[in-house]
Amino acid sequence: MGKITQIIGAVIDIKFTEGNLPEINSAINIKTNDGGRLVVEVAQHLGD
């Protein structure tokens, strides 16, 4: 499970709990407030 921490343009920063870091190029499904769904791709891992 992750939490969106920042959105700048097309870049979404998400902080994940320890042990739940998704692999690069994997898809992440984000539920929107209006009941929709946004699918994004993991492009990079950043350190703390």
Kindly state the tokens that stand for 30.
């984000």
**Does 11 reside within a domain?**
no
**Does 44 reside within a domain?**
yes
Instruction: Give the tens place of pLDDT for each residue, 13-44.
Output: 999 998 999 999 999 999 999 999 999 999 99
pTM: 0.81
pLDDT of residue 35: 96
User: Distance from CA of residue 5 to its chain's centroid?
Assistant: 9
Give the E-state strand segments of the chain in sequence order.
2-8, 11-16, 27-31, 37-41
Cα–Cα distance between 44 and 27 in angstroms, integer? 12
Cα–Cα distance between 46 and 35 in angstroms, integer? 29
Residue 48 confidence (pLDDT) above 70: no
**Does 29 reside within a domain?**
yes
**Dihedral sign for Cα atoms in the order 15, 21, 27, 29:** negative
**Does 17 reside within a domain?**
no
pLDDT of residue 1: 81
Domain count, the chain: 1
Confidence of residue 47 (pLDDT cuts 50, 70, 90): confident
